[in-house]
Amino acid sequence: MIGVGVAYVLAGIVFAAIALFSALDRANRKRWNNAAFWGLFAVSFLAGGRLGDFANGLIVIALALIAGVGGLGVSRPATTSPEEREASAARLGGRLFVPILVIPTCALAGTLLLKGVRIGAVPLVDPAQVTVIATAVGVVAALVLAFALFRPPLVAAPNEARRLMDSVGWAAILPQLLAALGAVFALAGVGTAIGRLLDAWLPMDGRLMAVIAYCLGMTLFTMIMGNAFAAFPVMTAGVGAPLIVGRFGGDPAVMGALGMLAGYCGTLMTPMAAHNIVPAALLELPSGAVIRAQAPTALMVFAANTVLMYLLVFR
């Protein structure tokens, strides 16, 4: 059975290549910081499951020290000029978008088709991770297709990956760290404590109040954590499962889907979210410009999401 380890290995190979090319870049005065940072990150993907909790914890501490004390440098790998890129785009036209469309196509097709594929009695792909695995396959297929269509130098892929990661910096790993922190909070009982506080201070004898508390809690906690995956186990353990599902008999599938959407509303309004940091860093936008542009949409989606949950979760 193909498991999620395949995706981890692919990610590890990519970050290992970034670390290697960083170490070879003599023009970057912090090349060893970059190489150590991305190399340790690659180790966490390639061997994290075999290292144990203590060793993985040391890797996280080392990453924080490298980024916080030594800092990361920005590489300037050789690439085409803006004029060359414009000419190439005009020549290729719509074919430029073909490789990127391969990724969501593979993810969707794999999610719908691979779950039922079996070899004897064993599933071909782990049913719990089929979307992640299909996405990883899509990334590889898109890379192969891009090389076939555009015929760039072989070093273009790792160099462009390195350029992008260096531009984003340590914030590139923020979603993974925050999601892990959410799991730690859930194991520490933070969700249960939040549920008790809400139960003590808010009138939780009605369905509407439970839905509002859960959706608002998902949004606010996501804004604090920067990631809906970090907020979900905490708020679901503290409010969603015991109140919406346990006390009022709500549908856990509907609650989970719409609860995550409420969390995503929070990611649009927080500087803790990496996708709010990356555009500002790459495009040199004013501080908070991305969040200000997204906030009205986030508030409208949050209101609609809360209404939908109240109408659908108890049916």
| pLDDT averages per 10-residue partition of the chain, 315 residues | 85 93 88 92 90 88 87 79 79 85 91 81 81 90 90 85 84 77 75 71 74 91 83 85 87 91 91 73 74 91 94 89
- Note the pLDDT of residue 218: 92
**CA 110 to each of CA 107, 120, 124, 145, 157: distance values in angstroms, whole numbers, following the listed order:** 5, 19, 11, 18, 25
- Note the pLDDT of residue 296: 93
- Note the pLDDT of residue 282: 66
Domain ranges in the chain are: 1-172, 189-312
Phi, psi of 123 (to 5 degrees): -65, 140
- Note the pLDDT of residue 202: 64
pTM: 0.74
Helices (H), the chain: 5-23, 31-51, 53-65, 82-92, 98-113, 130-150, 156-168, 174-187, 190-201, 207-225, 228-235, 252-267, 274-283, 289-312
Tell me if 233 sits within 8 A of 222, measured CB to CB: no
Q: Which residues of 218-239 are buried (b: 16+ CB within 10 A; e: fewer)?
A: bbbbbbebbbbbbbbbbbbbbb
- Note the pLDDT of residue 86: 82
What distance in Å separates the CA atoms of residue 152 and residue 12, rounded to the nearest whole number?
A: 23
